[in-house]
Amino acid sequence: MNPTNTRAMLIKVPIVITLYFWIIKILATTVGETGADFLIINLHLGIPVTSVIMAMILAASLYAQIKFKQYTPWLYWLTVVLVSIVGTLITDNLTDKFGVPLPVSTAAFSLALIVTYWIWYRIEGSLSIHSVDTIRRELFYWAAILFTFSLGTAAGDLMTESVGLGYVLSTLIFSAAIGFIAIGFYGFKLNGILAFWLAYIITRPLGASIGDYLTQSTADGGLGFGTIGTSAVFLLSILGLVTYLTITKRDAPTEQFGLTNTAEEVDVI
């Protein structure tokens, strides 16, 4: 077995970033928002109980993700959905239980994310998803993802509620931001790693804004579809796309892993 294949087998996150990745990511972030609301409100579990239960389930999923020997789409995306829910709950706890203002939590999570990236880069020398081939790097990867979800929840709520932009305008702003990143990457050679993480961060508040717009009552500026129906439709969509990726292996490590491609041009920011 050649060295390229040996290394690729150690990578358990998607390294071929396709449109499917971003669609599932946005669906997962929306489920994080609607799913947390469903557990808290519809099942009457409350924020503290929901947080403990979901943190335990996430810990089990993350343990399995780290222990698995190869990239497994259903397990990876299950972990992402659970991180999305837990990230939302962290922000909700700070806001609703401890009274932390959204500008403060947004700034705090931004700083935490920057520090995570800095330590990751200082220790490992790269933030590339193509180099997530050790347990330590994978832990850095999931820590960064958790902070992006918590930050996205805080930033999304800040824009829609505190600033008062509403769900539609916030969705348009975050969509435009992602569009600018895509233009920068494809048109102006924006660093691939930087572009990936910027898009990853901004898709979280985008998904949160979409989720709130779909589920909140018409009196509050939403469409009033509710958390149950919205969560179910989005989860089924994720299931269908993940099944497709499992069968086609469109985002799995390949023998071409060692070649430079459009997903990553250089290995530094």
- Cα gap 30→214, rounded to integer Å: 10
* pLDDT at residue 262 greater than cutoff 90: no
- Cα gap 135→45, rounded to integer Å: 34
Q: Which two tokens stand for residue 50?
A: 């929901």
Per-residue pLDDT band for 254 (boundaries 50, 70, 90) equals: low
pLDDT value of residue 269: 34
pLDDT value of residue 42: 78
Q: What is the mean pLDDT of residues 96-124?
A: 94
Q: What is the 3-state secondary structure (H, E, C) of 157-197?
A: HHHHHHCCCHHHHHHHHHHHHHHHHHHHHHHHCCCHHHHHH
Predicted confidence (pLDDT) per residue in 167-220, tens digit: 889 889 999 999 999 999 999 989 999 999 999 999 988 888 888 888 888 877
Looking up tokens 């997903």 gives 263
pLDDT value of residue 267: 35
What one-character DSSP code corresponds to residue 201?
H
pLDDT value of residue 173: 92
Q: Whole-number mean pLDDT of the chain?
A: 84
Per-residue pLDDT band for 260 (boundaries 50, 70, 90) equals: very low
Which residues is 261 bridged to in the sheet? 264
Per-residue pLDDT band for 253 (boundaries 50, 70, 90) equals: low
Q: Which residue has the higher pLDDT, 227 or 85?
A: 85
Predicted confidence (pLDDT) per residue in 2-37, tens digit: 444 444 447 888 888 889 999 999 998 888 778 887
Q: What number of residues does the chain have?
A: 269
Quick one: what percent of the chain has pLDDT higher than 70? 90
Question: Are the CB atoms for 54 and 85 separated by under 8 Å?
Answer: yes
Predicted confidence (pLDDT) per residue in 30-73, tens digit: 887 788 878 887 777 888 888 999 999 999 999 999 998 888 99
